[in-house]
């Protein structure tokens, strides 16, 4: 009797584990190199957090937000950002490595989603420190905020996953544009800089920036709005509950655009 076929979900979860475990073994074989990468990643995180400290050394409140609240927001923003950084390595290098160098032909020969392979063939393991650092910052801030919602806190890990999906979907769509725009660098670098805007309260920005971060490039749903319930900011509660829907819509658009790009892919011709 033939073995029962695996469900697509179980198959992809097993492939993800195999991809990750094999990559981790190879990466950790050079421990000194990995340790230096972790240190460099942490130094970058510490440097960006130092901006918050300098800012609050001059202003005790920022547009009605206290220092612990800003640390809470900043700490949470590192959770989806860290998950995104772990998985996004090939998105930045897609045009150069896969299209121009011709590696995408190999991806298409396998009976697995090309987008799945692109996301999970390589990892930036050192970026896991960002999720750890963010968790520590969250714990510190929550201990100094007497009115934090326990229910909102409990939902933060799930909303961090939604945030990572939002980041991956936006940059996945920018990556898919490489099928139409032949450029080694792509469209991602200028959009990447906008992620830093989500680490601060959206109320400190002009209306145009708020609209941009909530609609056109909805990074506020990845980092700012998910903290609304925990911080009891009722004026943003609607946006909090919209976060899963935003993540689902963007993920669907990313997959559809990637499939459209694949349909017009004509190989490298070499």
Percent of the chain with pLDDT over 90: 42
23 found inside a domain: no
**Three-state secondary structure of 169-231:** HHHHHHHHHHHCCCCCCCCHHHHHHHHHHHHCCHHHCCHHHHHHHHHHCCCHHHHCHHHCCCC
What confidence category does residue 185 fall into, taking pLDDT thresholds of 50, 70 and 90? low
Q: What is the per-residue pLDDT across 6-43, written as a single tens digit (0 to 9) for each?
A: 677 788 888 888 888 888 888 888 888 888 888 888 88
pLDDT at 99: 83
N-to-C CA span, the chain: 45
Assess whether pLDDT exceeds 60 at residue 69.
yes
**Residue 176 in domain:** yes
Tell me how far apart the 2 most distant CA atoms of the chain are, in Å.
Answer: 73
User: Does the residue 136 lie in any domain?
Assistant: yes
Look at 3-7, 18-22, 245-249, 262-266 and tell me which has the smallest mean pLDDT. 3-7
Does 1 have pLDDT greater than 50? no
pLDDT at 47 over 90: no
Q: Is residue 14 part of a domain?
A: no
Q: 182 or 40: whose pLDDT is higher?
A: 40
Answer yes or no: is 4 within a domain: no
Give tens-digit pLDDT for 208-247: 999 999 999 999 999 999 999 999 999 999 999 999 999 9
16 assigned to some structural domain: no
Contact residues for 225 (Cβ-Cβ < 8 A; gap 6+): 236, 239, 240, 242, 243
Which are the contacts of 13, defined by CB distance < 8 A and separation ≥ 6? none
Q: Return the bridge partners of 65, or none.
A: 62
Structurally, the chain folds into a number of domains equal to 1
Q: Is residue 37 part of a domain?
A: yes
The answer to whether residue 187 is domain-embedded is: yes
Structural domain span for residue 170: 30-263
C-alpha–C-alpha distance, residues 56 and 53, integer Å: 5
Model confidence, pTM? 0.90
Taking 80 as the threshold, does the pLDDT of residue 134 lie above it? yes
**DSSP bridge partners of 67:** none
| Whole-number Å distance between alpha carbons of 94 and 98 | 5
Q: Is 110 in a helix, a strand, or coil?
A: coil
For residue 159, is pLDDT > 80? yes
Q: Model confidence over 75-92: pLDDT tens digits?
A: 999 999 999 999 988 888
With beta carbons less than 8 A apart as the criterion, state whether 81 and 195 touch.
yes
Write down the mean pLDDT value for the chain: 87
């Amino acid at each position: 009797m033939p073995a029962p076929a695996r469900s697509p979900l179980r198959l992809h979860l097993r492939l993800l584990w195999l991809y990750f475990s094999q990559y981790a073994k190879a990466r950790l074989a050079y421990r000194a190199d990995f340790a230096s990468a972790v240190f460099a990643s942490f130094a970058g995180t510490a440097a960006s957090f130092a901006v918050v400290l300098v800012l609050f050394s001059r202003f005790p409140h920022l547009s009605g937000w206290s220092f612990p609240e800003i640390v809470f927001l900043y700490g949470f923003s590192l959770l989806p950002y860290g998950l995104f950084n772990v998985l996004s390595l090939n998105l930045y290098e897609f045009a150069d490595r896969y299209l121009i160098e011709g590696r995408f032909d190999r991806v298409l020969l396998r009976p697995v989603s090309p987008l799945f392979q692109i996301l999970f063939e390589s990892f930036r393991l050192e970026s896991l420190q960002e999720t750890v650092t963010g968790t520590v910052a969250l714990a510190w801030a929550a201990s100094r905020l007497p009115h934090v919602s326990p229910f909102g806190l409990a939902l933060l890990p799930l909303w961090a996953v939604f945030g990572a999906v939002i980041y991956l979907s936006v940059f996945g769509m920018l990556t898919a544009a490489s099928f139409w725009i032949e450029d080694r660098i792509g469209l991602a670098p200028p959009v990447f800089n906008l992620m830093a805007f989500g680490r601060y309260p959206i109320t400190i920005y002009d209306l145009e920036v708020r609209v941009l971060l909530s609609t056109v490039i909805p990074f506020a749903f990845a980092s700012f709005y998910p903290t609304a319930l925990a911080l009891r900011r009722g004026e943003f509660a609607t946006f909090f509950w919209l976060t899963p829907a935003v993540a689902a819509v963007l993920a669907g658009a990313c997959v559809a655009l990637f499939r459209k790009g694949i349909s017009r892919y004509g190989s490298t011709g070499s």
